[in-house]
Amino acid sequence: MPKVGMEEIRKQQVIEATERCIIEKGFSNMSVKDIAMEANVSTGIIYHYFKNKEDVLLQVIKRSFAKSHERVMETVEPLETFEEKLHKHIENINSVPKDNPDFYAVLLNYLGQAKNNPEINMVIAKFFKNLRKYIETYSQNGVTSGKVNPDKIKHLPALVIGLGMGIGIQWIIDQDAFDIDDIEKAFINIINVYINK
């Protein structure tokens, strides 16, 4: 019988090893055996704590999204005004490629699987839905204060996410293409022009 708390430690160990395997080998080029070797556990341990390989893979993407959400809650939520929240959120999105490039490596692997895997599709769709809803929620403060055109709120969340992730993916693929820090100002300016009354 495992010691109290050992289950969570083992699960975390396997999830972290799986993420490393995805980054190093790619989603479709890794096996449970690879994960076990990376985690320094037996394949039996993996099957003891997870239903199958797909279950482990789902936990990796959920963990990645949870870490992203925690960062937003720590840095954006405490701010008071719409402008502060929006600019800090854009700063966070823009910093992911530099501060957490593995996020994009993992996300790109999962996006490639989403069309053919309903569970992965559902997890990714939920992540984007929650992110859009959060942006929409704090944007209502901008409408209430008269600083944002109410007609612009409908598409603002998708535009912020699309522009931010598009910039991040481009920079991860080709870091010589542009200065990621410099482009943040242009990102904010584009969004400010869009929402301006």
**pLDDT surpassing 70 at residue 161:** yes
Q: What are phi and psi of 25, to 5 degrees?
A: -110, -20
User: Residue 1: pLDDT above 60?
Assistant: no
Q: Which of 61-70, 94-103, 149-158, 161-170 has the highest mean pLDDT?
A: 161-170
- CA-derived radius of gyration, the chain: 19
For the record, the structure tokens of 25 come out as 């080998």
The structure tokens 């997890």 sit at 123
Residue 20, both tokens: 């490393």
pLDDT of the residue at 67:
86
Least confident of 1-15, 25-39, 92-106: 1-15
**pLDDT over threshold 80, residue 5:** no
Question: How far apart, in whole angstroms, are the C-alpha atoms of residue 21 and residue 93?
Answer: 25
* pLDDT averaged over every residue in the chain: 90
Residue-range domains of the chain with CATH: 1-50 (1.10.10.60), 58-195 (1.10.357.10)
